[in-house]
A and B are shown apart, each in its own frame.
Chain A
Amino acid sequence: MVLFWGAISFWILAWWANIWIARQKEQKILNLLPPILFGGSVIFVWEASVIHFGVNPIILPPPSAVYYKFISSIPTLWEDFVQTAIKGALSGYIIGCVIAFAVSLIADKFKFFERGVLPIGNFLAAMPIIGIAPILVMWYGYGWQSKAAVVAVMVFFPILVNTVQGMKMSDKIHRDLMQTYNASYLQTLFKLRLATAMPFIFNGLKICTTLALIGAIVAEFFGSPIRGMGFRISTEAPRFALDMVWAEITVAAIAGSLFYGGVVLLEKWITFWHPSQR
């Protein structure tokens, strides 16, 4: 009872604090506070109301239970993480990006091919490509290879579309300048066109981080060895071991954010000159 009302009043206090912060002038440190306060109060209210209303842990376990489960099953979670995120998602992501990049270079060189491939790529990028998972699992077996293949196919089209689009972004006047320098095709490509394409390429790379994890996890629903995040989630959920499922979700969230953050850091390092980075 006390806990519950404590949580509610914490929520209200946090909200007031956020309103107060919102009225202050822009400051880096202060801007970090509202999301932390909001997230904290959500977790606090969640914990308190699960205990207060006696919610069945089968439906919604309290955050503390998830935390204990997380701490006590780190070896399993780590094994699943390596299987799904590193072997499945990351390797597939790299394979898919490299192939998409190569194809977009070809498309850039041959305009006829580009005009044919781009509309199809645009169309397929909006398709539920995840549906290819059962087919690839059937072809490549239950191991991580099939997951990598699903991920590679999923990331292919967004990267392709973004890279081809980005390659068109260099100004005519800049290309003319390169020509007056007597620059070769490769020189123009590396020193001008790929450089201007980078913000677009990174846009694609960022979108694909999430897609890669989703692809690897969902592909495991169609069959996997007895480890992996998707396997764990799909076997623990029907057994009502929801604390384990939430622990896996926490791992997925951390992995997803780290993956995304890593690409953002890389972007900051490579496209330091772009207005949005300054």
Chain B
Amino acid sequence: MLAILMTKKTGIGSESNVLPVTCVIIFIVIIWYGFSILLNAPWEFDKAKRNSITLSATELVTNTWAQKRPKLPAPHQVVGEIWATTVNKKVTSKRSLVYHGLITFYETIYGFALGTGLGILLALGIVFNRATAMSVMPWIITSQTIPILAIAPMIVVALGSLGFGGLLPIVIISMYLSFFPVVVGMVKGLKSPEQLEIDQMKTWSASKSQILFKLRAPRSTPYLFTSLKLGIAASLVGAIVGELPSGGGGGLGFRMLSGSTFGNTLHIWSGLFSAAILAGSLIAIISVIQRIVLKRMALEL
């Protein structure tokens, strides 16, 4: 969680890190190729034994990197699978990753929007009403020590029996995960003006709402954006996990689950990587908006 707070300082974009990062990535890829030989080799040996042929070293390596259902697919297989299921498939096809990715994207966005709204409302209640702060805040924190994702199947079933199938249960799970960072960040942000500044506003006989809109709200925007980045990552996780018990629908989580039930490892890996790409791009979009907005507000990052 704290991670994103700090990406600014150690971000991928900063030039000095390009070389070390590339080195580590290359290192990871090499290890990955190595492990995919190691993990896939037993199956190749088995096959060779059955057909009573002996494998040369090069044959073994090329074979382990080209299995149809490998234990660990080689990186180029995953990239190939993603390419084949995005560019070479129609978007409307159920076998297209774009189709599943879009479903997950919508669930994430709806859940994120609702979660952000709920989070801001709760934060306002907490900042302006001490009774709310004292009675609700401990429960908000407790709610996060509960593994909320565990109740995903129940929400899906309960809402399904009420006749709300489809997206709604998943959106609610996604919302539940994303409201917390927003509450915490916005409470901190709305409380960030110092007493001195609030007193200054009062000497101008500013009303409570004027203090809110002219002092507290602008001051909380940097906190809001940090929370939004945490929130959207959380709501994507919520969307993916929410798809698991809902069965039929679609989405990246569904794709990974069906890959796991049918032993199609390439589906799992390509689903996982698309989820990572989706998360990365959503966070990047928010970062860009953050930079533009904060620049226009003349707030330093």
Chain A: residues with CB nearer than 8 A to chain B?
Answer: 15, 18-19, 21-23, 31, 34-35, 37-39, 56, 58-60, 112-123, 125-128, 130-132, 134-135, 137-139, 157-158, 161-162, 165, 203-204, 207, 209-210, 213-214, 217-218, 221-223, 229-230, 233-234, 237-238, 240, 242, 245-246, 248-249, 252-253, 256-257, 259-260
Contact = CB atoms under 8 A, between A and B. Distances in A.
Interface in B235-254: 236-237, 240-241, 244-245, 252-253
Contacts of A117: 20, 24
Nearest to B233: A126
A-B complex: 5 closest residue pairs judged by Cβ atoms: A116-B20, A134-B260, A116-B24, A125-B3, A38-B135
Interface in B1-53: 1-4, 6-7, 10-12, 16-17, 20-25, 39
Interface string B63-87: 0000000010000000000000000
Nearest to A248: B150
A34 B271 contact: no
Nearest to B73: A135
Contacts of B272: 131-132, 135
Contact of A38 (B20, B139, B252): B139
B4 A122 contact: yes
Residue among B71, B158, B162, B236 with the most chain A CB within 10 A?
B158
A175 B131 CA distance: 46
Nearest to A238: B157
A135 B265 contact: yes
A23 B131 CA distance: 8
B interface SS class: helix
B279 A126 contact: yes
B20 A123 contact: no
Given A59-B158, A123-B7, A246-B154, 7 more contacts: A35-B139, A116-B25, A119-B7, A127-B233, A128-B240, A135-B268, A214-B147
B244 A210 contact: no
Contacts of A242: 154, 157-158
Interface of B: 1-4, 6-7, 10-12, 16-17, 20-25, 39, 71, 129-131, 133-139, 142, 144-151, 153-154, 156-158, 161-162, 229-230, 233, 236-237, 240-241, 244-245, 252-253, 256-257, 259-260, 263, 265, 268-269, 271-272, 275-276, 279-280, 283
B135 A123 contact: no
Contacts of B136: 35, 38
B131 A214 contact: no
A126 B230 CA distance: 8
B131 A131 contact: no
A90 to B, nearest CB: 14
23 contacts: A22-B129, A34-B134, A34-B135, A38-B135, A116-B20, A116-B24, A119-B10, A121-B3, A122-B10, A128-B237, A135-B260, A135-B268, A165-B6, A209-B145, A234-B153, A234-B245, A237-B156, A238-B157, A240-B157, A240-B161, A242-B154, A253-B145, A256-B147
Contacts of A162: 2
Contacts of B237: 128, 130
B150 A158 contact: no
Contact of B158 (A60, A217, A230, A248): A60
Contacts of B17: 115-116, 118-119
Nearest to B13: A119
A112 B20 CA distance: 6
Contacts of A222: 257, 260
A249 B275 CA distance: 27
Contact of B135 (A37, A203, A210, A214): A37
A74 B259 CA distance: 35
Given A210-B145, A233-B151, A113 B271 contact: no
Contact of A233 (B154, B161, B276): B154
Residue among B20, B21, B253 with the most chain A CB within 10 A?
B20
Given A113-B20, A127-B279, A207 B1 contact: yes
A256 B153 CA distance: 19
Nearest to A235: B153
B259 A22 contact: no
Contact of B240 (A122, A131, A256, A260): A131
Nearest to B229: A126
A272 to B, nearest CB: 22
